[in-house]
Amino acid sequence: MIRSSVIFFLSLLTFLNANALQDAIDSAPEGAILKLPAGVYKGSITISKPLTIIGKEDGVVIDAGGKGTVIAIKSSYVTLKNLRVTNSGTLHHQLDAGITIENAKHCEISDCVIDDCLFGIDMQMVNNSIVSNNYITSKDQDLGLRGDGLRLWYSNDNLIKKNSLIKSRDMVVWYSHGNLIEENYGEYCRYSLHFMYAGKNFVKNNQYKFNSVGIFFMYSKDTVATGNVIKSSLGATGMGIGLKDVSNFTLKNNTVIYNAQGLYIDRSPFEPDTNNWIIGNKILYNSEALHFHSLSENNIIKDNIIMGNIEDIVNDSRGSKTNENEIVGNYWDNYEGFDKDGDNIGDTPHKVYQYADQLWVYNPDVKFFYGSPVISLLNFLAKLAPFSKPLFLLEDQKPKVKIEG
């Protein structure tokens, strides 16, 4: 596409001149660049042609006045940069948002502040586009009533990089494939990142903290998550990374720290004759390091550091077959063996059993006492003189004795 070299310089607009920005968009030729000086511009605008809108200085505000979506993009090759997009409507069924993009490709939203908007950026059937370096926050409402900060729906091969989602609801990637999600930051949201029916995505070097859930993968496959830091997921069930009905996943070199549940594994891998690889992660100081739910076998759990957790392994359903995962070469800080030959591999396997102290796993009333001296005493007595046979969960045949590197 040959972009026009025409550059439109717009004067300061106010709400008294409500249609000026929309009029300028409508009258501009395809490929035009609109450079806006500081000022407040009337929102609820629609862009239906290839166009660039740039704030040429700070203080360029596009305000919808509390009604509808601030900017609706219905064309490919649209770029928005250095804008503050604010004050959308409040209707969930209309997906009132800061910016919506529909049926488009090769669009870019960069260096924008999107605040006081129910939804942040809503991408529907958008491909080969860039969303980078934006600050996004929702309406000041209860967590479940906020809109999603960033939504990808049937949107493929996009770059989502260096965005900050603060006090939004979720970032969702649904029915969307081949996206690179890199160096983003999420804080005080519900799901910082939620996948459903998505494949071949690459999730790299993101940081998420103080959310209900860091990253949750559902009904998805063929995805790599590496170098992410998930910290301090809030609440009694706060979760670092969750895998539900997923196959052919790689979780590598992530740090999962200070969560109620570090890694949650539910019916994963889901497809027959597939594996998930959980390799080289640091799973530190969580209430539960690895929580298995339902049938979860054929995971390869290797070379991880599992340290400082209250419980290393939790199996809340007796049919989850935790012992049928390949678990080898991990560092367990409560390993009780020796390394006589100094090869940094324990001379005996590290075996994990379920004792009386895990009665709380099956009885929510007992969980009230979780972590209490009473439960700790029960655990000690059960190991010293078991009054029932402990349940074998899993073993690491080659546990690391020291943390390498």
Q: Cα dist. 242→214, 231, 247, 301 in Å?
A: 8, 14, 13, 15
Closest CA to 281 of 226, 334, 342, 348: 226
pLDDT of 9 above 50 = no
Let me know: does 215 contact 192? Beta carbons within 8 Å: yes
Residues in the chain: 405
Label residue 272 exposed, middle or buried (CB < 10 Å: 0-12, 13-18, 19+).
exposed
DSSP code, position 296: -
pLDDT digits (tens, 9 = 90+) for 343-374: 999 999 999 887 654 555 555 555 556 556 66
The average pLDDT across 238-258 equals 97
Please identify, in words, the CATH class of the domain defined by 1-189: mainly beta
pLDDT digits (tens, 9 = 90+) for 28-47: 999 999 999 999 999 999 99
- Computed from CA positions of residues 88, 89, 92, 95, in that sequence, does the dihedral angle turn out positive or negative? negative
The average pLDDT across 376-380 equals 63
| Placement of tokens 């603060």 in the chain | 166
For the chain, percent of residues with pLDDT exceeding 70: 85
For the chain, percent of residues with pLDDT exceeding 90: 77
| First and final C-alpha spacing in the chain | 51
DSSP labels for 35-60? EEPSEEEE--EEE-SSEEEEESSS-E
**Residue 44 and residue 64: Cα distance in Å, rounded?**
5
Is the entire prediction scored with pTM above 0.85? yes
Quick one: pLDDT at residue 373?
67
Specify the DSSP element, H or E, that contains 18. Answer: none
Mean of pLDDT over the chain: 89
Label residue 242 exposed, middle or buried (CB < 10 Å: 0-12, 13-18, 19+).
buried
pLDDT digits (tens, 9 = 90+) for 145-204: 999 999 999 999 999 999 999 999 999 999 999 999 999 999 999 999 999 999 999 999
Task: For residue 363, give the 3-state DSSP assignment.
Answer: coil
Quick one: pLDDT at residue 376?
63
Quick one: pLDDT at residue 370?
59
pLDDT of 82 above 70 = yes
Quick one: pLDDT at residue 16?
40
pLDDT digits (tens, 9 = 90+) for 263-294: 999 999 999 999 999 999 999 999 999 999 88
Closest CA to 273 of 252, 248, 293: 248
Quick one: pLDDT at residue 393?
85
pLDDT of 399 above 50 = yes
Q: Name the pLDDT band for 5 (thresholds 50, 70, 90).
A: very low
**Residue 82 and residue 272: Cα distance in Å, rounded?**
48
Quick one: pLDDT at residue 323?
85
**Residue 327 and residue 253: Cα distance in Å, rounded?**
16
Quick one: pLDDT at residue 317?
74
DSSP labels for 75-96? SSSEEEES-EEE-----TTTT-
| Placement of tokens 């800080």 in the chain | 333
Closest CA to 287 of 267, 317, 257: 257
**Residue 171 and residue 214: Cα distance in Å, rounded?**
10
- Computed from CA positions of residues 49, 90, 84, 191, in that sequence, does the dihedral angle turn out positive or negative? negative
Let me know: does 63 contact 45? Beta carbons within 8 Å: no
